[in-house]
A and B are shown apart, each in its own frame.
Chain A
């Protein structure tokens, strides 16, 4: 399951634009991760500040 470090996240939406599953949504100052997230890690790669961590056991 994707881990969002809320203390690092700048809620900018960069990750949302690249998510192939449409599993991320930026709700104002809060990044929501839906259950269809496949933990592929694309979002974690592009994050400008490193707020996302993929590869966690579900």
Chain B
């Protein structure tokens, strides 16, 4: 690690790795600092990603793909199943990744492109000069080193602190944190090529429970519930244990994972003087699905592109960095976040009976495009009354 870079990236997840790789490809010097001793571990993720979304950044590789998905299923509170498949029967619609190897691959690529990487190295404080972020104090094995940078990219995840230290409020409202738990389970009976989502107040209040296959008889079995609904005796882990006991009584848990997923609106502003915030730290997780891998890679790449422009022009002020904030908000991703936030807000207010009714309306859907938007459109077709209930929101779905 040097004492000065063009771009300093805090965090070695998908946002940070793509940001650093993009920065060095643009001719900048860059360094990723990761507080953990290993890239990719521990996993804090259900590991699902859509096929098109993944391929925008990287070609699928068996080294880090656990399983290929050809469909999905939604289970209503009363147990009714709705099957979702691609209009092109049997075609792949998504993947369940092995994040330990996926994240490592992304960081390898950044390193091979020329980025520096420092692990077990924590950004302990920003370097601030007249309110402008100029890098960070990096702690490694008890020693603190000053690393200056023209632009710092905060890609430090859901537990982000860096932006807060720089004066940006990143606090997630209690009702909008998904308090989550997941087991990697082995020796269970599953459909190895379909993700399954369980809905309902009894199963996962204001959230959902998932079974994401990672092989023929193994899957990520996890749950996220609203922080508002969490408390002593009714926490994510309690709901997960109850489900597992009932559904996979003979399964074996080979990994125990906990985490938090933000489903709030993104930060009001994702740049400051000398600072760009990307990925989960910017709260750009899809509020409906809780998916964040694509959004992290997208914002990571954009952050580095805007950083390169601003460094070339010699202006790294908040105003100069604003194109980052404006561009992602206007992007397909930004629009999907806003739309899905509103859909999420509608869905969490529905009683189980309403969810049952919606799912009863159709037992099987062949989706032309395998996305939440297409799914919602199809559901509206068979539940015309939804248009009235969705009100102004319906217009954004057409």
- Residues on the B chain within 8 Å of A45, using CB: 174, 227, 230-231
Residue of A14, A20, A50 near B158 (CB, 8 A) is A14
Q: Is the CB of A28 within 8 A of B44?
A: no
Q: Is the CB of A47 within 8 A of B171?
A: no
| Chain B residues in 8 Å Cβ range of A18 | 171-174, 177, 227, 260
Total contacts A to B, CB within 8 angstroms?
A: 95
A22 proximity list for chain B (CB < 8 A) = 161, 164-165, 171
Query: Which residue on A lies nearest to B173, using beta carbons?
Result: A18
B230, A47: Cβ atoms closer than 8 Å: yes
Q: Which residue of B lies closest to A10 (CB)?
A: B258
Cα of A49 to Cα of B161 in the assembled complex, Å: 22
Q: Is the CB of B230 within 8 A of A13?
A: no
| Inter-subunit contact B232/A17 (CB<8 Å) | no
A12 in contact with B259 (CB, 8 Å): yes
Interface membership of chain A positions 33-58, coded 1 if the CB is closer than 8 angstroms to chain B and 0 otherwise = 00000000010011111100000000
A27: which B residues are within 8 A, CB to CB? 35, 122
CB pair B171–A49 under 8 Å, yes or no, is no
- Asked if B309 is at the interface (CB within 8 A of a chain A CB), the reply is no
Smallest CB–CB gap between B11 and chain A, Å? Answer: 12
Residues of B within 8 Å of A28, CB to CB, are: 35-37, 120, 122
User: Do B157 and A42 have beta carbons less than 8 Å apart?
Assistant: no
Residue B306 CB within 8 A of the other chain: no
Q: Report the separation of the CA atoms of residues A19 and B177 in the bound assembly, to the nearest whole angstrom.
A: 11
Whether B180 lies near A48 (C-beta < 8 A) is yes
Q: Is A2 an interface residue (CB 8 A)?
A: no
Q: What bracket does the count of chain B residues touching chain A fall in?
A: 35 or more
Q: Is B236 an interface residue (CB 8 A)?
A: yes
> Contact: A48 with B35, CB < 8 Å?
no
Asked, given contacts A14-B260, A27-B122, A49-B237, whether A19 binds B230 with beta carbons under 8 Å apart, the answer is no
Contact B122 A13 (CB under 8 A): no
Chain B residues, CB < 8 A from A15: 260
B137: chain A residues at CB < 8 Å are none
Q: Cβ of A16: which chain B residues have Cβ within 8 Å of it?
A: 158-161, 260
A27 to B141, CA, bound (A): 12
Contact present for A46 and B256 (CB under 8 Å): no
Asked if residues A46 and B237 are in contact (CB atoms below 8 Å), the reply is: no
Given A17-B172, A18-B172, A48-B230: 8 more A-B contacts, CB < 8 Å: A12-B258, A13-B259, A13-B260, A19-B171, A26-B159, A28-B35, A45-B227, A49-B258
Residues of A near any B CB (own CB < 8 A): 10, 12-20, 22, 25-28, 42, 45-50
Cross-chain pairs A/B with CB under 8 angstroms, 11 sampled: A12-B258, A14-B158, A14-B179, A18-B260, A22-B171, A25-B161, A28-B36, A28-B37, A48-B259, A49-B258, A50-B235
Please report B residues at the A interface, Cβ cutoff 8 Å: 35-37, 44, 120, 122, 157-161, 164-165, 170-174, 177, 179-181, 227, 230-232, 235-237, 256-260, 262
Which 3 pairs from chain A and chain B are nearest by CB? A13-B159, A14-B260, A10-B258
